[in-house]
């Protein structure tokens, strides 16, 4: 439930503001705008004051506020998980073991496993089941300090079941304290009904699905899996242009497995973000930086698929705006773990912890076109912040694979507090 609170967090050893109202490119990703001995005041769910504790509290009447002492702690903005496949039915646990044995993601997909298996599971699941699963998954994400989650459809692959998934997302956004951003991804795979006829399926999406999703206002973004053996560059261009005409903002799954020019298309269309990019060309990435298209990297997926990581270092050195997200989904990356993606970004993608925090906050917000509302601790933004149990933000990578999150504040209300979670 969305309720708004009044809270004062004071005496933080480090207040990592990530200050800014737009995406950060290249070198700018390194500056976290840290305030030592910081405080933040949130009123009616909105950040009202930010600064040194002494200055912020000077003459302030604290009546009506919860006051939390954060001595020895670090405060960051709430994390923005800007790429997830949150709503799905059924799991693919045995497939994970096949991959451990050496089967590739694509070979499993070609045998009718992969996304197609989850399409069956999702079509079979009831609306209520999907809501219940979604609530649990959002709770798990909240415990990792996530306060905004993007959620894609794409396991229905026909009008009825894509709408069901999107309606579930809408319901979750109403019921849960986290904020959800909805993406329509009818072009996640070619459904069995259209096997070998990807062009016809794209026409069906454009003519039969997009208008209904738009009319019912069920999604803000349209996304597509632009990939060899899935949707070509031409099909992607056709769908994305049609989606834009119908009022959608654009995202892409681009150059994940085979380099087919997805990054170049994302730049050409000025998509809000293009995601994965493991195989993207240098030129394509540079063009994305110039176009202002956020490069969203999903290191958990590369890790889980035992693939080479996306070249985050190259992207930042070439002035791209990089975001990081989990890609939480039942196949290629079944994890909502923020500590995992932080470790992978810093240890395997050669990103600094400063760049990684920027990628999970203000640039994650920019990947959802919300850098003016969330992703930093600035006056006027939503009161979404996380208190970490250690005195410096360096612990977010130093404490490997373990969540540093102690308290999560959403819209000025404490929604999670580990200090209340006793082990007896």
Question: What residues make contact with ligand NIG under the rule CB under 6 A?
Answer: 85, 114-115, 118, 225, 253, 256, 301, 327, 329-333
Nearer to Fe ion, 264 or 327 (CB): 327
Residue nearest to ligand NIG (CB): 331
Give CA–CA dist 57/66, Å, rounded. 13
Region of residue 411 (left: phi > 0; alpha: psi -120 to 50; beta: else): left
The entry of ligand NIG, Fe ion, none near residue 76 (CB within 5 to 8 angstroms by kind) is: none
Nearer to ligand NIG, 147 or 296 (CB): 296
Assigned token pair, 341: 């993606």
Give CA–CA dist 298/296, Å, rounded. 7
> Closest approach of Cβ 19 to Fe ion, in Å?
29
Nearer to Fe ion, 256 or 411 (CB): 256
Residue pair 295/323 in contact (Cβ under 8 Å)? The answer is yes
Nearer to ligand NIG, 223 or 384 (CB): 223
The entry of ligand NIG, Fe ion, none near residue 332 (CB within 5 to 8 angstroms by kind) is: ligand NIG
Pairing of strands 34-43, 46-52: antiparallel
> Closest approach of Cβ 332 to ligand NIG, in Å?
4
> Closest approach of Cβ 111 to ligand NIG, in Å?
14
Give CA–CA dist 237/227, Å, rounded. 13
Region of residue 304 (left: phi > 0; alpha: psi -120 to 50; beta: else): alpha
> What would the x/- binding string for Fe ion be over residues 304 to 343, using CB under 5 A?
-----------------------x----------------
Nearer to Fe ion, 274 or 386 (CB): 274
The entry of ligand NIG, Fe ion, none near residue 344 (CB within 5 to 8 angstroms by kind) is: none
Give CA–CA dist 359/32, Å, rounded. 11
Assigned token pair, 387: 């208190």
Assigned token pair, 131: 């809501």
Give CA–CA dist 341/270, Å, rounded. 26
> Closest approach of Cβ 73 to ligand NIG, in Å?
34
The entry of Fe ion, ligand NIG, none near residue 118 (CB within 5 to 8 angstroms by kind) is: ligand NIG
């Amino acid at each position: 439930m969305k309720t708004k609170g009044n809270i004062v967090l004071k005496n933080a050893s480090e207040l990592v503001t990530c200050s800014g109202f737009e995406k950060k490119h290249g070198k700018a990703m390194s500056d976290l705008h840290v305030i030592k001995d910081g405080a933040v005041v949130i009123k009616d769910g909105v950040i009202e004051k930010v600064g040194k504790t002494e200055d912020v509290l000077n003459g302030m009447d604290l009546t009506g506020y919860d006051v939390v002492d954060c001595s020895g702690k670090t405060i960051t903005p709430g994390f923005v998980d800007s790429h997830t496949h949150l709503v799905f039915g059924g799991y693919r646990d045995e497939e994970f073991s096949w991959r451990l044995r050496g089967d590739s993601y694509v070979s499993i997909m070609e045998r009718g496993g992969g996304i197609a298996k989850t399409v069956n599971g999702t079509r079979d699941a009831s609306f209520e089941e999907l809501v219940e699963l979604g609530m649990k998954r959002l709770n798990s994400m909240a415990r990792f300090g996530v306060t905004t989650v993007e959620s894609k459809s794409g396991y229905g692959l026909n009008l009825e079941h894509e709408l069901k998934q999107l309606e579930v997302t809408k319901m979750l956004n109403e019921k849960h304290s986290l904020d959800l951003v909805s993406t329509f991804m009818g072009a996640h795979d070619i459904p069995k009904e259209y096997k070998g006829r990807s062009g016809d399926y794209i026409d069906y999406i454009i003519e039969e699905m997009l208008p209904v999703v738009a009319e019912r206002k069920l999604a803000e973004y349209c996304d597509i899996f632009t990939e060899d053996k899935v949707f070509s560059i031409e099909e992607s261009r056709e769908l994305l242009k049609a989606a834009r005409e119908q009022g959608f903002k654009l995202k892409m799954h681009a150059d994940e497995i085979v380099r087919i020019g997805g990054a170049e298309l994302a730049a050409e269309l000025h998509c809000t973000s293009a995601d994965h990019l493991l195989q993207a060309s240098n030129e394509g990435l540079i063009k994305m930086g110039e176009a202002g298209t956020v490069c969203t990297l999903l290191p958990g997926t590369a890790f889980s698929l035992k693939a080479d990581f996306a070249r985050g270092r190259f992207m930042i050195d070439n002035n791209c705006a990089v975001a990081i997200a989990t890609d939480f989904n039942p196949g290629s990356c079944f994890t909502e773990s923020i500590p995992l993606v932080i470790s992978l970004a810093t240890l395997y993608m050669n990103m600094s912890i400063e760049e990684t925090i920027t990628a999970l906050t203000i640039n994650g917000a920019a990947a959802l076109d919300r850098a003016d509302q969330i992703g930093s601790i600035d006056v006027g933004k939503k009161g979404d912040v996380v208190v970490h149990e250690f005195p410096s933000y360096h612990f977010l990578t130093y404490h490997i694979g373990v969540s540093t999150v102690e308290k999560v504040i959403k819209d000025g209300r404490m929604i999670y507090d580990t200090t209340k979670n006793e082990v007896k």
